[in-house]
């Protein structure tokens, strides 16, 4: 049988915690908001990218396979540099595929905080990314978003890329792609996926940068 003093101490501790608000985890993603990019580290800037085509720098915020990596603009090995056609505000790094045939990255964005507007059918999205490749090679990237319901079922998908060598005029460059649409009613999360595929050569030269998903409420 628990001693009286220990019982009072336990009750006091429980009452203290009951009246204390929960503190959010420092590493928890922020609640979704309108008008901001909801993709974490979509610009590959959380870490300084790899300095050459031998190193792999796994980017924060993404679950990756293969050798999906952040790489510095102008890294040794013929990567896009600060003068390569691409984003104006490109920062220091971008995403590349590494020394494997296929590399992927994914992240899930919780949208429950915006459920009222989503279920009213008034929320729209702007999905965009810069995608490219190296010279005449067909290595490429595809960036997609899947809008999912509470059970994880896909309600709609929007994809960007691939960008072909002819679209790049067989030069090393990145081209911006974007899609506008309405977020399906019942959406509770968005799955962002990047797939970088090698067609020729040794290094997987598909390039991706500045992935963004921005939601707006039209009411």
- Mean confidence (pLDDT) of the chain: 90
Pairing type for strands 63-65 and 69-76 reads: unpaired
φ/ψ (deg, to 5) at 182: -105, 135
**Closest Cα partner for 106 from 68, 74, 138, 76?**
68
**Would you say residue 187 has pLDDT above 80?**
yes
Region 159-174: mean pLDDT is 97
**Closest Cα partner for 97 from 150, 50, 41?**
50
The answer to whether 182 and 106 have CB atoms below 8 angstroms apart is no
pLDDT at 31: 86
Domain boundaries of the chain, sorted by first residue? 33-217
Q: Which is higher by pLDDT, 22 or 81?
A: 81
- 200 CB burial (10 A radius; 0-12, 13-18, 19+): exposed
pTM > 0.75: yes or no: yes
pLDDT in tens, 19-42: 434 333 345 567 899 999 999 999
pLDDT in tens, 41-75: 999 999 999 999 999 999 999 999 999 999 999 99
Which numeric CATH code is attached to 33-217?
2.60.120.260
Structure tokens at 144: 């997609």
The percent of residues above 70 in pLDDT, for the chain, comes to 86
pLDDT at 29: 66
pLDDT in tens, 123-157: 999 999 999 999 999 999 999 999 999 999 999 99
Region 153-162: mean pLDDT is 98
Name the β-bridge partners of 148. Answer: 154, 189
The answer to whether 158 and 127 have CB atoms below 8 angstroms apart is yes
The answer to whether 69 and 57 have CB atoms below 8 angstroms apart is yes
């Amino acid at each position: 049988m628990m001693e009286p003093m220990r019982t009072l101490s336990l009750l006091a501790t429980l009452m203290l915690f009951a009246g204390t608000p929960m503190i959010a985890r420092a590493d928890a993603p922020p609640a979704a908001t309108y008008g901001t990019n909801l993709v974490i580290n979509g610009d590959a800037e959380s870490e300084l990218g790899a300095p050459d085509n031998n190193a792999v720098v796994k980017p924060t915020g993404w679950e990756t396979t293969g050798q999906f990596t952040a790489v510095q603009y102008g890294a040794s090995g013929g990567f896009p540099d600060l003068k390569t056609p691409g984003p104006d505000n490109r920062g220091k790094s971008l995403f590349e595929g590494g020394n494997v045939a296929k590399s992927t990255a994914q992240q899930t964005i919780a949208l429950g905080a915006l459920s009222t507007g989503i279920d009213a059918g008034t929320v729209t999205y702007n999905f965009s990314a810069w995608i490219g490749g190296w010279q005449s090679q067909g290595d490429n990237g595809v960036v997609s978003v899947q809008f999912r319901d509470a059970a994880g079922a896909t309600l709609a998908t929007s994809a960007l890329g691939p960008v072909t060598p002819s679209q790049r005029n067989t030069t090393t460059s990145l081209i911006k792609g974007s899609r506008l649409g309405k977020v399906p009613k019942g959406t509770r999360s968005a799955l962002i996926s990047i797939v970088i595929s090698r067609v020729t050569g040794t290094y997987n030269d598909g390039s991706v940068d500045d992935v963004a998903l921005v939601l707006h409420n039209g009411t």
